[in-house]
Amino acid sequence: MSYFENFLNANKAYVNLHGTAHLPLKPKTKVAIVTCMDSRLHVAQALGLALGDAHILRNAGGRVTEDMIRSLVISQQQMGTREIVVLHHTDCGAQTFKNDEFTAYLNKELGVDVSDQDFLPFTDVEESVREDMAILRQSPLIPKDVIISGAVYDVDTGRMTQVFP
Amino acid sequence: MSYFENFLNANKAYVNLHGTAHLPLKPKTKVAIVTCMDSRLHVAQALGLALGDAHILRNAGGRVTEDMIRSLVISQQQMGTREIVVLHHTDCGAQTFKNDEFTAYLNKELGVDVSDQDFLPFTDVEESVREDMAILRQSPLIPKDVIISGAVYDVDTGRMTQVFP
């Protein structure tokens, strides 16, 4: 049983609503949102985004990794974004493990030694937002005039609360 | 002028609709969707996802990078997902540049030498989906019984079309 077919079916109904329209490649608000993959956060709805408004980047934890910076550089230098929002959330999967236990588990479960890899867990969600804002601010690939904001999303209430650097 | 305040304001209205409810950390469908940051793709709407249904992972191009695999390992081993959908799209920003020209531009614009970095551009969108499905299939960190599907999303029509490996 695969869910992929369900998504294809649901998409048929979406296509009828969507109609045909070409929106520009460059996001209207010039914002890129860096957030977590969590299933309980629907970014467009929670932030009031229309189609075409903003880039949405998501990984485990919403962490600013090398790949996140690769994506932001493309977002900024190819598609003109000038603002970044780092949005982490309560009850995050990245708060459920520690690197050493997790890599030991992966070694046992998958037979792969990834003991040197950082899976980027965190304890305090406001602190993780601050850390990632600081990584962005210090990156030579992110221009100094780019606006960087941070917030925490509450998955139980849907509320986004600002975090200051 | 920052858009962040607009998002905070829009979020106030969303909170009123959301109410308070605790959904489980583990996604209901056990699916993780790997896709692009593009502003014209609202994943939850396009695939008919409710809150809590699926992990959504997004970077420039929807490419399977080391960070994407880090996120998928957490998704699978900590939160029980067992299916992956690789979803790229038409008119992608990753089709607008070549590595050598882009890194030369970054050197000139930002004064940073990233000439050894692959920004993962592609030409043929079906081919890029197949490439990324193959990377997942070959990864020792992704169990062999995980279901992997691929598709292309048309940003003009909203239609998702399956790509076979």
Give A12's Cβ-side CA count (13 Å radius). 6
B24, pLDDT greater than 90: yes
CB count, 10 Å around CB of B33? 31
Backbone phi and psi for residue B148, each to the nearest 5 degrees, phi listed first: -125, 120
For chain A, the average pLDDT equals: 97
3-state secondary structure of B109: helix
CA distances to A121, A157, B72, B86, B114 from A95, in Å: 6, 19, 16, 26, 33
What residue segments make up the domains of chain B, in order of their start? 22-161
Q: 0.90 cut: is pTM over it? A: yes
DSSP-derived letter for residue B11 is H
Mean pLDDT across the stretch B126-139?
98
CATH number for the domain formed by residue range(s) A22-161 = 3.40.1050.10
Q: Under an 8 A CB cutoff, do A75 and B93 touch?
A: yes
User: B78, A70: Cβ pair inside 8 Å?
Assistant: no
Instruction: Name the binding residues of B.
Output: 36, 38, 89, 92
What's the gap in Å between the CA of A132 and the closest CA on chain B?
Answer: 15
**Interchain pair B59, A56: CB under 8 A:** no
What pLDDT is recorded for position A66? 98
Q: Angle formed by the axes of helices B99-110 and A66-79, to 10°? A: 80
Angular region, A74: left φ>0, alpha ψ -120 to 50, beta rest:
alpha
Q: Which residue has 């994407």 as its token pair?
A: B68
Does the pLDDT value for residue B1 go beyond 90?
no
Show which of residues 102-161 on chain B sit within 8 Å of chain A, judged by CB atoms: 102, 105-106, 109-112, 114, 117, 119-120, 140-141, 143, 147, 149, 151, 155-160
Q: Is A89 annotated as a binding residue?
A: yes
Cα distance between the two ends of chain A: 46
